[in-house]
C-alpha cells in the first residue's frame, strides 16, 4: 500500500527523491509524471544527519559514495568520475540549533592529472613534483555544503542549506519552514535553483521555485487531502537531459493545487502473531526472535483500494516557447500551450497475499 500511495502522490505532487547529484541528497519529482524506475523516496533524515551517523563506522569519518554517470555526461563529469569521498567536517550545536559543514572530494581527475604529469616528464626533477602538487588545488575536485536547522518551538523549525560544486558555476540554496499542527503539516519551501528529475531520470534546474503546502496527516478514516500553491520563475535549464524540451509543469507561472484521497484496506484472512511465534526453542534454550518487518510478520490476504481527485489551476505562463536550430540552419520556435485549469480522478485496487512466516536463521 505504501508503494501504491507513492505512485499516486508522484502523479500530482513533487516528491523528494534520493539523488547523488546534490550534497543535500535529494531532488524533487516533476508533478504529473511517475517516478523513475530506479528511484526511491528521499529519507526523512537529513543528509548531514546520515553522514554524522555513518561516519562513526568509517576511518576518519570519510564516507565513500558513488554517483552513476548521467545519460549524456559532459566532459567535466567524465573527468571527475562517479566515485567521491564525503565527510562531515564541522557540526556545532546547541539545544535547539545545529550547523553542519559537508565536504566532498573526487579523486579520479587528480590521479589522472598526476599520472599524466609523470608520464610526460623525461626526468623526475623538482619541477615535476611541484607541477603535480598544483593539481591538488584544482577547485573542480571539491564541493562544499553548509546546512543549519533552528527549532523555534516544539512544532516549528527552520532549515537553511547552501552548496557549491567546484566544477559548476553558481551555488544552490534552499530555505524550508516546517510547522506541525494537531492533524496537519504546513511546509514552506524556497529554492534557487530547484533541482527536478523527470520519469526518464533526466535532471532539470528551475532558477526559482517557491511552494506552500498544507497536508493532512494519516487518519483512521482513510481520508487524506492536500492543497497549496507553487511559483516557478525563470526558464528551466537542462542539467543532463538529452531531450532539450523542458516539461510543462516546470515552466514559469503560479499554480494552485488541491487533492484528496480515500483509502481502505480489508483483510480476507489473517493469522495473528502470538507470543509463541516470537520465541524459538532450541537445544541451547529459548530465543526471542521478533519480526524484522511488521508487514511480513503475519500471513494474510488483503485488498487495498484508493480513490481520489485533484484540481490544478495555472495563473500566467499559459504558453512557453523553445527556440532551436534545425538541420538546414534555420531557427525553429516550438510553442506549447498549458491548460489554465485541469481536474483528474484516479483510483486503484491492490491485492496482496502472503503465505507462511518469514524464515530466519536460528542461533548457532
Residue pLDDT, tens place only, 251-289: 999 999 998 989 898 888 887 777 776 777 787 878 777
The confidence score (pLDDT) of residue 241 equals: 67
The confidence score (pLDDT) of residue 244 equals: 67
The confidence score (pLDDT) of residue 326 equals: 43
pLDDT band, residue 363 (cuts 50/70/90): very low
pLDDT band, residue 331 (cuts 50/70/90): very low
Among the listed residues 232, 233, 226, the one whose alpha carbon sits nearest the alpha carbon of residue 255: 232
Residue pLDDT, tens place only, 131-186: 888 999 999 999 999 999 999 988 999 999 999 998 888 899 999 999 999 999 99
Among the listed residues 44, 338, 52, 21, the one whose alpha carbon sits nearest the alpha carbon of residue 167: 21
pLDDT at 1 over 60: no
**Residue range 197-207: average pLDDT?**
89
Q: For residue 302, count other CB atoms closer than 10 A to its CB.
A: 16
Residue pLDDT, tens place only, 40-92: 888 888 888 889 888 888 988 999 988 776 655 666 777 788 899 999 999 99
Among the listed residues 146, 145, 138, 162, the one whose alpha carbon sits nearest the alpha carbon of residue 76: 138
Residue pLDDT, tens place only, 279-301: 777 878 787 777 666 666 778 88
Comparing 119 with 101, which gets the higher pLDDT? 101
Q: How many CA atoms lie within 13 A of 132 on its CB side?
A: 16
pLDDT at 323 over 70: no
Helices (H) and strands (E) in the chain, counts: 6, 21
Comparing 318 with 95, which gets the higher pLDDT? 95
The confidence score (pLDDT) of residue 92 equals: 92
The confidence score (pLDDT) of residue 291 equals: 67
Average pLDDT, the chain: 83
The confidence score (pLDDT) of residue 361 equals: 39
Residue 147 near residue 97 (C-beta atoms within 8 A): no
Q: For residue 317, count other CB atoms closer than 10 A to its CB.
A: 17
- Return contacts of 81-90, CB within 8 angstroms, 24+ apart: 81/106, 81/107, 81/108, 81/109, 83/107, 83/108, 86/23, 86/51, 86/62, 87/51, 87/55, 87/60, 87/61, 87/62, 87/63, 88/48, 88/51, 88/52, 88/55, 88/61
Residue 348 near residue 308 (C-beta atoms within 8 A): no
Q: Which helix (H) or strand (E) segment is 186 a member of? A: strand 184-192
The confidence score (pLDDT) of residue 188 equals: 96
Whether the predicted model's global pTM rises above the 0.75 cut: yes
As a whole number of angstroms, the distance between CA 296 and CA 274 comes to 14
pLDDT at 8 over 70: no
The confidence score (pLDDT) of residue 328 equals: 46
Residues with Cβ within 8 Å of residue 3, at least 6 apart in sequence: none
The confidence score (pLDDT) of residue 164 equals: 95
Percentage with pLDDT > 70 across the chain: 84
Beta strands 26-29; 194-197: pairing state: parallel
The confidence score (pLDDT) of residue 362 equals: 38
pLDDT at 122 over 90: no
Residue pLDDT, tens place only, 11-41: 667 888 888 889 998 999 888 787 787 778 8
Amino acid at each position: 500500500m505504501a508503494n501504491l500511495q507513492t505512485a499516486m502522490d508522484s502523479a500530482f505532487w513533487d516528491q523528494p527523491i534520493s539523488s547523488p547529484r546534490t550534497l543535500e541528497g535529494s531532488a524533487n519529482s516533476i508533478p504529473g509524471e511517475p517516478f523513475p524506475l530506479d528511484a526511491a523516496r528521499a529519507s526523512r533524515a537529513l543528509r548531514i544527519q546520515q553522514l554524522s551517523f555513518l561516519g562513526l563506522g568509517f576511518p576518519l569519518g570519510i564516507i565513500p559514495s558513488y554517483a552513476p554517470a548521467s545519460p549524456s555526461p559532459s566532459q567535466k563529469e567524465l573527468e571527475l568520475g562517479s566515485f567521491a569521498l564525503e565527510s562531515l567536517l564541522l557540526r556545532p550545536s546547541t539545544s535547539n540549533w545545529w550547523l553542519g559543514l559537508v565536504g566532498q572530494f573526487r579523486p579520479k581527475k587528480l590521479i589522472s592529472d598526476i599520472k599524466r604529469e609523470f608520464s610526460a616528464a623525461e626526468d623526475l626533477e623538482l619541477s615535476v613534483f611541484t607541477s603535480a602538487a598544483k593539481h591538488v588545488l584544482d577547485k573542480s575536485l571539491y564541493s562544499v555544503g553548509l546546512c543549519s536547522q533552528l527549532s523555534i518551538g516544539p512544532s516549528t523549525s527552520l532549515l537553511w542549506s547552501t552548496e557549491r560544486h567546484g566544477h559548476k558555476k553558481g551555488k544552490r540554496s534552499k530555505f524550508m519552514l516546517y510547522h506541525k499542527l494537531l492533524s496537519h503539516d504546513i511546509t514552506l519551501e524556497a529554492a534557487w535553483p530547484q533541482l527536478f528529475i523527470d520519469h526518464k531520470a533526466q535532471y532539470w534546474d528551475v532558477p526559482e521555485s517557491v511552494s506552500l503546502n498544507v497536508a493532512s496527516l494519516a487518519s483512521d478514516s482513510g481520508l487524506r487531502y492536500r492543497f497549496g500553491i507553487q511559483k516557478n520563475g525563470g526558464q528551466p535549464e537542462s542539467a543532463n537531459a538529452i531531450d532539450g524540451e523542458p516539461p510543462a509543469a516546470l515552466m514559469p507561472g503560479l499554480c494552485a493545487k488541491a487533492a484528496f484521497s480515500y483509502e481502505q484496506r480489508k483483510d480476507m484472512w489473517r493469522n495473528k502473531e502470538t507470543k509463541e511465534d516470537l520465541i524459538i526453542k532450541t537445544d541451547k534454550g529459548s530465543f526471542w526472535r521478533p519480526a524484522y518487518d511488521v508487514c511480513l510478520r503475519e500471513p494474510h490476504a488483503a485488498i487495498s483500494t484508493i480513490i481520489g481527485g485533484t484540481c490544478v489551476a495555472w495563473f500566467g505562463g499559459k504558453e512557453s516557447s523553445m527556440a532551436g536550430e534545425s538541420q538546414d540552419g534555420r531557427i525553429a520556435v516550438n510553442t506549447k500551450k498549458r491548460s489554465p485549469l485541469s481536474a483528474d480522478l484516479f483510483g486503484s485496487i491492490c491485492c496482496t497475499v502472503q503465505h507462511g512466516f518469514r524464515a530466519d536463521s536460528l542461533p548457532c
